[in-house]
């Protein structure tokens, strides 16, 4: 069964939004997946997603309030089939962290969206609610493409 781990810096904005978007898309398609999210940093471990992230997801019918931030673990590189970073810095950190026996495929989330390859998902942390809408649109587009690819 495909298993996907989304990774951003603190695991309270972008990666939980990506997790929620992919869970919703998998449910819509009847696709069985394991989906989780984590951060390369540990300072938000145990915290729920940012209130603005929760609000934007809920406006689109997805409840991410039960998710809790955690830090990436070495076992994640063997546990998940795909470890997907939300930006270049986190992808670089993941490449450095990955153990020699890692089996997960590493990529950027927007690599899964034609025409957006190599681009980072917008980080809404320092902005207002409108920035979270942009991020939601990006992770939702990527979730649709990723789910369609995994369905094959």
- Kindly list the catalytic residues: 8, 14, 123
Q: Number of helices (H) and strands (E), helices first, in the chain?
A: 5, 4
Q: Between helices 51-59 and 129-151, what is the axis angle to 10°? A: 60
Are 86 and 6 a contacting pair, CB within 8 Å? yes
3-state secondary structure of 139: helix
Let me know: does 16 contact 67? Beta carbons within 8 Å.
yes
For residue 142, give the 3-state DSSP assignment: helix
104 in Cβ contact with 5 (< 8 Å)? yes
């Amino acid at each position: 069964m495909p298993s996907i781990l989304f990774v951003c810096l603190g695991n309270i904005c972008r990666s939980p939004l990506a997790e929620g978007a992919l869970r919703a898309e998998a449910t819509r398609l009847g696709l069985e997946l394991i989906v989780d999210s984590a951060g390369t940093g540990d300072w938000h471990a145990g915290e729920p997603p940012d209130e603005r992230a929760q609000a934007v997801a809920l406006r689109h019918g997805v409840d991410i309030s039960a998710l809790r931030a955690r830090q990436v673990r070495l076992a994640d590189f063997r546990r998940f089939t795909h470890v997907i970073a939300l930006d270049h810095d986190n992808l670089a950190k993941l490449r450095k962290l990955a153990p020699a026996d890692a089996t997960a495929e590493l990529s950027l989330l927007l690599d899964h969206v034609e025409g957006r390859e190599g681009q980072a998902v917008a980080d809404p942390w320092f902005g207002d609610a409108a920035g979270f809408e942009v991020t939601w649109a990006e992770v939702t587009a990527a979730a649709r493409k990723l789910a369609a690819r995994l369905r094959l």
